[in-house]
Each structure stands twice: as structure tokens, then as C-alpha cells.
């Protein structure tokens, strides 16, 4: 492939889709997300704008799915850029799902793409200012070391730390805590 590749998670909507329009001026774009119909509409939209692109369904909270995405991108050509915009806001799920997508998804994306990208490549993780609004006391700085070594332990420790908050505010806290991973 002549063009270098840009992979955009969450490329089916919002900031991911807008980023795809910009990156598509200079790159071949692969957009990812879980909802195939949304990706299909986004691809039509991008192609109308002259972007060379394709969709690859992927759940960033699933390590195997991320591995397949990275492997597919590597086989297509040189992966120069990743914009990791996939994420869940507090209203989109419970605290555990938010941690799985936002925190573990970010660890998985960075780990797998660091393996397939060459020198000079760039991974941009879209975060949230909620990381700065969450008290540093609840930031799981010491827990991230478990995210790849022992994912069950990571989940258990993180979820235990979230359970000290009332259920109604846990998704918001999870959003702030997971934004720290980015």
C-alpha cells in the first residue's frame, strides 16, 4: 500500500469519525467500533469525502479482538498513526463496563500497537478532563501494573475500590479513574 495507515477506534461516530475525515487526507484509514451498522454508515460518509478507508469491527475491551485488529493493520502496510477515541461516557454503561473499555481497552491498544508500529509512529489516546476532576486519592496508580500481568486481579482491585462509592455515582467515578489510563 502506498499510503501509510491510520487506525481510529471509535471511528464510527463523534470525534473518531471527524478525525477520520482529517487523517484521510493523507492516510489510508481503518475505523473500528463494535456496531457494524454504524461503521458501514461511517464508511459511506468517508468515501463520499474521498477518504480511502475500511471498517474493522473490534471491541477494544477484548484483548483478542484488539490483537486481531493490530495484526490486520500490520498486514495491510505501515501503521503510522493510531487515534484511540473509543470510549464510554458515564451514561453509557455501568462502572465495570466503563473500566473494561476505557482502562483495559487503552492498555490493550497501546500494548498491541506498540508491537506493530515502527519508529516515528504515534498513538494518540483521547481522554477526558474528568481525570483532572477526580480526587487523586482514588486514582489507581499502583494497580495498572496488574492490567497485563493479571487482568482478573486488576478488575477485582479496581472494582473493589469503586464499590466504596454509592452505586449511583460509580459510573462517573469509573469514567474519571479510567481517563487516568490515557
Ligand X SMILES: NC(=O)c1ccc[n+]([C@@H]2O[C@H](COP(=O)([O-])OP(=O)(O)OC[C@H]3O[C@@H](n4cnc5c(N)ncnc54)[C@H](OP(=O)(O)O)[C@@H]3O)[C@@H](O)[C@H]2O)c1
Binding status of residue 29 toward ligand X by CB under 6 A = no
Binding status of residue 172 toward ligand X by CB under 6 A = no
Instruction: Look at the alpha carbons of 81, 123, 162, 146 in this order and tell me if their dihedral is positive or negative.
Output: positive
CB of 154 to ligand X, least distance (A): 17
Sheet holding 28-33, edge to edge: 53-57, 28-33, 5-9, 79-84, 122-125
**Which listed residue (15, 131, 139, 151) binds ligand X by CB under 6 A?**
15
Binding-site string for ligand X from residue 57 to residue 96, where x marks contact by CB under 6 A and - marks none: -xxxx-----------------------xxxxx-------
Q: Which residues are registered as beta bridge partners of 55?
A: 31
> Which residue, among 153, 85, 70, has the nearest Cα to 115 in the 3D structure?
70
Binding status of residue 101 toward ligand X by CB under 6 A = yes
DSSP single-letter state for residue 153: H
Contact 131, 89 (CB under 8 A): no
CB of 5 to ligand X, least distance (A): 18
Query: Phi and psi (nearest 5°) for 83?
Result: -110, 110
140 versus 172: smaller Cβ distance to ligand X: 172
The region of 33-41, 43-51, 132-140, 144-152 touching ligand X under the rule CB under 6 A is 33-41
Binding site for ligand X (CB under 6 A): 9-10, 12-16, 32-35, 38, 58-61, 85-89, 101, 105, 126, 128
Amino acid at each position: 500500500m502506498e499510503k501509510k495507515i491510520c487506525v481510529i477506534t471509535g471511528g464510527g461516530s463523534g470525534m473518531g469519525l471527524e478525525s477520520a475525515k482529517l487523517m484521510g487526507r493523507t492516510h489510508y484509514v481503518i475505523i473500528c467500533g463494535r456496531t457494524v451498522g454504524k461503521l458501514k454508515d461511517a464508511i459511506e460518509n468517508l468515501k463520499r469525502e474521498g477518504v480511502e478507508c475500511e471498517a474493522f469491527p473490534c471491541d477494544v475491551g477484548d484483548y483478542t479482538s484488539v490483537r486481531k485488529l493490530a495484526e490486520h493493520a500490520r498486514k495491510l502496510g505501515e501503521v503510522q498513526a493510531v487515534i484511540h477515541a473509543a470510549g464510554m461516557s458515564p451514561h453509557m454503561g455501568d462502572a465495570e463496563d466503563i473500566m473494561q473499555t476505557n482502562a483495559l481497552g487503552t492498555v490493550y491498544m497501546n500494548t498491541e500497537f506498540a508491537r506493530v508500529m515502527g519508529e516515528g509512529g504515534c498513538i494518540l489516546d483521547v481522554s477526558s478532563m474528568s481525570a483532572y476532576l477526580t480526587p487523586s486519592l482514588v486514582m489507581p496508580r499502583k494497580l495498572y501494573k496488574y492490567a497485563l500481568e493479571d487482568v482478573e486481579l486488576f478488575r477485582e482491585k479496581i472494582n473493589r475500590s469503586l464499590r466504596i462509592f454509592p452505586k449511583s455515582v460509580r459510573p462517573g467515578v469509573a469514567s474519571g479513574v479510567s481517563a487516568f489510563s490515557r
